[in-house]
Chain A
Amino acid sequence: MTDVIMPQMGESIAEGTVTKWMKAVGDTVERDEPLFEISTDKVDAEIPAPASGILTEIRVQPGTTVSINTVVAVIGAAAAASAAPPAPAPQPPSPVVPAPPAAAPPAPNPAVPTAAPVSAPAAAPVAPPPAPAAPRPPAPATLPARPTPPALAAPALVPAPVAPAAVPAPPPIAPPAAQAAPVVPPPPAPPAARDDARPQADMSVDELRQTRSSPVVRRIAAEHNVDLNAVTGTGISGRVTKQDILTHLEGRTASAPPAADVPAPAALGATAVAPAVPVVAPYRPGERVEIIPMSPIRKRTAEHMVLSKRISAHVSTVWEVDMTRVDHLRQKYRQAYQERSNVKLTYLPFIVKATIDALKAIPVLNSSVEGESIVFKKDIHMGLAVALDWGLIVPVVRNAEEKNLLGIAKAVNDLAERARTKKLKVDEVQGGTFTITNPGVFGSLFGTPIINQPQVAILGIGTIEKRPVVRDDAIAIRSMAYLSLTFDHRIVDGSDADRFMAHVKKGLQEFDENAL
């Protein structure tokens, strides 16, 4: 008699589900021939018979989950059987001692249905000693604890097809506008920023949503009586994706301000630019002047700057950073980057990377103010101010925190190039959550830039140049730069700002070479 046990398919695996028997009771089996199939998490495995003989008993039916080392079947010594080796060594889980997995975090495993007789120390001298002392890990956790195998799925555990808590569409949060009357509503800038503002509710976008949302989305919407227009769409053209509607149903959508809140550009023009005009006539009739109407980009920049100064309490702090190490790394890897990926490795990606790390550490710098709330942005969309002959533009590296140095360098190269050639798409200059500007390229030591609304801080990079500095009581020549941070003192305190800058400085001065 040989017991067939549930093998241990990995050291952090405590159970397995029998999915299929290839043999029936009474069948003859040959040693090593596939006998049954099991399933653990993401992996299905075919288990060979540990011995030859006749399958006399199947103790665990398909769909049942049992602990490892549970006897799942018994193979009897057939009359005809080749009385085979006594110690059948059934697919030994591995001779290694099943040490308790150090790393495996215990998971709240839903009901380990120890349906079948647990383990069988008495049963037989099956290959692996039933690991007497081996403390069985509570449950494997590295893989998704598949709730339950289909067969014995307690209905409660099976997620209903659609989020059951059919939360009625949360009422759109009242726009914060009402707060302080004269202060301009939200910034003019990103009308269609993906995360922070929803697309302008003009007809075509609405229609797009209606018509281009997939049937699945529309079906879910219909089932739950959700108006798709009330759902923030993150798909193409503001399309509502399945993800969006599911999120919405769970009530987690930070509902966007209604259309009325989107400032009419005309009105803004009036408030932002116009007031300056009547104060003093800038020239007298007959004076030799040339009058050139502002380009649209100039006008927008003007509006935006004035607006920002009115909205935020600007304060700047300046730090000196030793860029020698970054310079060294840049020289060292420049050629490799060029050859491997055709990317020009400048200082900027290093600074972006250090800034991202600092933003993760001091998240308030990656937030914005909405009414009397602070909105912390979980994604970092890094705006990079690029000076062009015809004005200033701020392309955005989306989800910069998801990119490594190479990814950042590529994105920076690509965006800068397309900014110069006017090939940026509208959504590539919107939705930034933080901005870096680089007045240093023109030789400035440092700037005190204006915050790019609705963000709350902007980092300025001064020129990077060799300077004599004191190191270990000696004068050394190092590549130095001043970095300045302008922040919105309404919600960012000086201590936050300086902790942030300390982080940036440390990140640059001790830049991790592994990140290259």
Chain B
Amino acid sequence: MRRLGRVPYADALDLQARLVAERQSGAIPDTLLLLEHEPVLTLGRNARRENVLIPEPALRERGIAVFETGRGGDVTYHGPGQVVGYPIVELPPGRRDVHRYVRDLEEVMIRACADLGVVAGRIPGLTGAWVGHQKVGAIGVRIARWVTSHGFALNVSPDLSPFDLIVPCGIRDKGVTSLERLLGGPVPVDRVLPRLADHFAAVFERQAQDAPVAPLGGAR
């Protein structure tokens, strides 16, 4: 597990691409990256442009970058206060099922929420961790030769207003929320990270091990 702190989206993409190649070649073990992004809108492979509700220049003015990216899913927002998890994991033969993988990521977020006092769940037919009709954790995944990248994003304490700029994940009739809003008080990201790491390890039957924080662009 590597905690990377606040990372610009482009850097995280590069890092993932490198780690995926290294994982595929067996050079590194399964890795979970935990980080936050600078404000950014990302469009999945299936994203519809009309789900971004304001023009790109206006976004740039607000300091929000836009990326098209190779994960599944529609458009979403990342920003400070949202914990993003990128598992670079080779799914073992018994787990080579993308639905199972997505369900497992949901499980990790749902368990972490429970530790903080929030009952999150699933909505049949939709992806993510939900509290009522509001999404607290989103998922968008890429799998290449059963090595995963991209992953999940749990809203701990982000500014939720940028979600107003988009139709998150293309779902129009549901809202987004955060742990902080649900609990009505500050929730430090640092308290959530170990919970996510532990549950990830449990759900994926791995031993969690802190890896040195990789300087971006540097060596492992």
Residues of chain A touching chain B, judged by Cβ–Cβ distance below 8 Å, are 9-13, 17, 19, 32, 34, 37, 39-46, 48, 91, 93-95, 105, 107, 140-146, 149-150, 158-159, 161, 163, 214-217, 219, 241-243, 246-247, 250, 341, 379, 398-399, 401-404, 406-411, 414, 428
* Interface pair B182/A9, CB less than 8 Å apart: no
Of listed A43, A48, A144, A428, residue having the most chain B CB within 10 A: A43
The yes or no answer to B165 lying at the interface (CB within 8 A) is: yes
Residues on B with C-beta less than 8 A from A243 are 175
Given contacts A407-B119, A428-B184, 4 further A-B contacts (CB under 8 A): A34-B144, A40-B98, A403-B117, A403-B183
* Interface pair A143/B125, CB less than 8 Å apart: yes
Our pick among A91, A144, A408 for the contact of B125 (Cβ within 8 Å) is A144
* Interface pair A141/B125, CB less than 8 Å apart: yes
Which residue in chain A gives the minimum CB-CB distance to B140? A42
Residues on B with C-beta less than 8 A from A9 are 96-99, 143
Of listed B70, B127, B164, residue having the most chain A CB within 10 A: B164
* Interface pair B119/A402, CB less than 8 Å apart: yes
Residues on A with C-beta less than 8 A from B46 are 17, 39, 146, 149-150
CA distance A380 to B118 in the complex (A): 14
- For this complex, 16 residue pairs linking A to B, each with C-beta atoms less than 8 Å apart, are A9-B96, A9-B97, A10-B100, A41-B127, A42-B140, A43-B143, A46-B142, A46-B145, A105-B124, A215-B54, A219-B53, A243-B175, A403-B182, A404-B119, A407-B183, A411-B183
Query: A23 to nearest B CB, angstroms?
Result: 15
The yes or no answer to B103 lying at the interface (CB within 8 A) is: yes
* Interface pair B44/A44, CB less than 8 Å apart: yes
CA distance A105 to B123 in the complex (A): 12
* Interface pair A408/B117, CB less than 8 Å apart: yes
* Interface pair A407/B116, CB less than 8 Å apart: yes
Our pick among B97, B125, B143 for the contact of A44 (Cβ within 8 Å) is B143
CA distance A34 to B144 in the complex (A): 8
CA distance A159 to B173 in the complex (A): 11
Known: A44-B72, A45-B142. A107 touches B97 (CB 8 A): no
* Interface pair B144/A142, CB less than 8 Å apart: no
Known: A39-B72, A43-B142, A44-B70. A142 touches B119 (CB 8 A): no
The yes or no answer to B132 lying at the interface (CB within 8 A) is: yes
* Interface pair A216/B54, CB less than 8 Å apart: yes
Known: A10-B100, A12-B99, A402-B118. A42 touches B48 (CB 8 A): no
Which residue in chain B gives the minimum CB-CB distance to A33? B145
Known: A9-B98, A214-B161, A399-B182. A42 touches B127 (CB 8 A): yes
Which residue in chain B gives the minimum CB-CB distance to A149? B46
Residues on B with C-beta less than 8 A from A13 are 97-99
Which residue in chain A gives the minimum CB-CB distance to B96? A94
Interface 1/0 per residue, B160-194 and A, CB below 8 Å: 01001100000111010000001111000000000
Query: B42 to nearest A CB, angstroms?
Result: 13
* Interface pair A216/B119, CB less than 8 Å apart: no
Residues of chain B touching chain A, judged by Cβ–Cβ distance below 8 Å, are 44-46, 48, 50, 53-54, 70-73, 93-94, 96-103, 114-119, 124-127, 131-132, 139-145, 161, 164-165, 171-173, 175, 182-185
CA distance A212 to B72 in the complex (A): 34
Known: A43-B72, A44-B72, A402-B119. A411 touches B184 (CB 8 A): yes
Residues on B with C-beta less than 8 A from A140 are 99
Our pick among A10, A149, A215, A250 for the contact of B98 (Cβ within 8 Å) is A10
Of listed A107, A159, A241, residue having the most chain B CB within 10 A: A159
CA distance A140 to B139 in the complex (A): 17
* Interface pair A410/B117, CB less than 8 Å apart: yes
CA distance A101 to B27 in the complex (A): 35
Residues on A with C-beta less than 8 A from B93 are 94-95
Residues on A with C-beta less than 8 A from B141 are 42-44
Residues on B with C-beta less than 8 A from A93 are 96
Known: A43-B141, A214-B161, A410-B183. A142 touches B99 (CB 8 A): yes
CA distance A402 to B183 in the complex (A): 10
* Interface pair A159/B144, CB less than 8 Å apart: no
Our pick among B71, B114, B161 for the contact of A404 (Cβ within 8 Å) is B114
CA distance A290 to B115 in the complex (A): 54
* Interface pair A379/B125, CB less than 8 Å apart: no
Our pick among A34, A159, A216 for the contact of B53 (Cβ within 8 Å) is A216
Query: B59 to nearest A CB, angstroms?
Result: 12
Query: B80 to nearest A CB, angstroms?
Result: 19
* Interface pair B48/A150, CB less than 8 Å apart: yes
Residues on B with C-beta less than 8 A from A41 are 72, 98-99, 102, 127
Of listed B98, B143, B172, residue having the most chain A CB within 10 A: B98
* Interface pair B50/A48, CB less than 8 Å apart: no
Of listed B45, B100, B101, residue having the most chain A CB within 10 A: B45
Which residue in chain B gives the minimum CB-CB distance to A216? B53
